[in-house]
Amino acid sequence: MTDVSMRVAYGQALAEYGAANPRIVVLDADISASSQTHYFASRHPDRFFNMGIAEAGMVDVGVGLALGGYIPFVNTFAFLLTLRAAEMVRSCVAYAQTNVKLVGAYGGLSDAFDGPTHHAITDLAVMCAMPNLTVMVASDAVQVAQMVPLIAEHPGPVYLRVSRAELPVIHSAEAPLEIGKGKLWQQGSDVTLIATGIMVTRALDAADILAAQGVSARVIEIHTLKPLDTALVRQAALETGAIVTAEEHSVVGGLGAAVAQALGLHPVPHVRIGVQDCFTETGPYEALLTRFKMTVNDMALAAHQSIEAKQA
């Protein structure tokens, strides 16, 4: 299976949809070669604005354009958009319910060699805590291209996380995609693997390993963390009685926390795969995912642990 760049697919889809919808405008904090918004800039230079290294001001300009009737896509690295510009996102986008689309590039640990200061392991927690804000995570190049028109036409503010990594394509362009509705990849009766972003492919691979071991694993993708598809999560917990969540994010405040909150007074054994409430390190991307136990084998082991807890 050939790996494909999610960020390139995003940039190309944005440029393509910009041709179909003249209300689309794009703002970038001087990282268009990284975010791949240069595709839009080349095709629609009159609707592209390089705001320089001024993330907070860029968000405010996006708000002004939205109030003027445009649909702004505001782009920078995920850690900067959700931390340095957090006050503007909170007050001018979320609180005001402004129709701004916030796109965090280089999500998770995918900016591997730039180290812990550049790794976005808290962005989903920050954005999920913002009222009125829809939060989405793409899992491959095909899906992120589907998400561009979807979030453009969605009324209200959206945060979309995009990875720097090249990833296997697992989605079909014809597959339905709906904000707030998770995707059931396969049925299973012993345990449910719930994954988001790059961890979806790994969850599918882990399910294959488990099947060879005689374990029936259900696999669910959550591409919309907020609003979460609580009905799908609760049904899986009821029917399988054991949960593993997998995210390229801190286990505090992300997918695992959202699932635990959704289960509320009816919890089941639940093992969380992700960064275990610590800062990360600098190194090759795959080595970092291994270091922080986000591999396929780690997911399979977590499934066994969850099942054992259910049976205890």
- Cβ atoms < 10 Å from Cβ of 179: 15
Query: Are 150 and 187 within one domain?
Result: no
- pLDDT tens across 169-193, in order? 999 999 999 999 999 999 999 999 9
Domain-located, residue 253: yes
Active site residue 308: no
Distance (Å, whole) CA 280 – CA 149: 34
Domain-located, residue 119: yes
Query: Are 142 and 216 within one domain?
Result: no
Query: Are 15 and 108 within one domain?
Result: yes
Q: Can you give the residue range of the structural domain that contains 22?
A: 3-168
Tokens 């808290």, residue? 122
Domain-located, residue 300: yes
Distance (Å, whole) CA 90 – CA 82: 10
- pLDDT tens across 22-80, in order? 999 999 999 999 999 999 999 999 999 999 999 999 999 999 999 999 999 999 999 99
pLDDT band for position 265 (cuts 50, 70, 90): confident
- pLDDT for 3 equals 80
Based on C-alpha coordinates, what's the Rg of the chain? 19
Higher per-residue pLDDT: 1 or 153? 153
Query: Are 213 and 123 within one domain?
Result: no
- Is 1 a residue whose pLDDT tops 60? no
Instruction: Considering the candidates 55, 221, 247, 248, report the single residue annotated as catalytic.
Output: 55
Closest CA to 82 of 251, 199, 253: 253
Domain-located, residue 98: yes
Query: Are 77 and 133 within one domain?
Result: yes
Query: Are 252 and 155 within one domain?
Result: no
- Is the dihedral angle over the CA atoms 226, 230, 232, 233 positive or is it negative? positive
Query: Are 42 and 157 within one domain?
Result: yes
Domain-located, residue 121: yes
Domain-located, residue 46: yes
Q: End of a domain among 133, 168, 203?
A: 168
Instruction: Provide the CATH number for the domain around residue 241.
Output: 3.40.50.920
Domain-located, residue 175: no
Number of domains within the chain: 2
Query: Are 131 and 244 within one domain?
Result: no
- Average pLDDT score over the chain: 97
- Is 2 a residue whose pLDDT tops 80? no
Instruction: Provide the CATH number for the domain around residue 60.
Output: 3.40.50.970
pLDDT mean over 143-169:
97
Query: Are 135 and 190 within one domain?
Result: no
Q: What percent of the chain has pLDDT over 70?
A: 99
Query: Are 155 and 24 within one domain?
Result: yes
Q: End of a domain among 112, 139, 168?
A: 168
Query: Are 38 and 164 within one domain?
Result: yes
Domain-located, residue 178: no
Query: Are 155 and 252 within one domain?
Result: no
Q: End of a domain among 120, 143, 168?
A: 168
Closest CA to 256 of 281, 283, 277, 279: 277
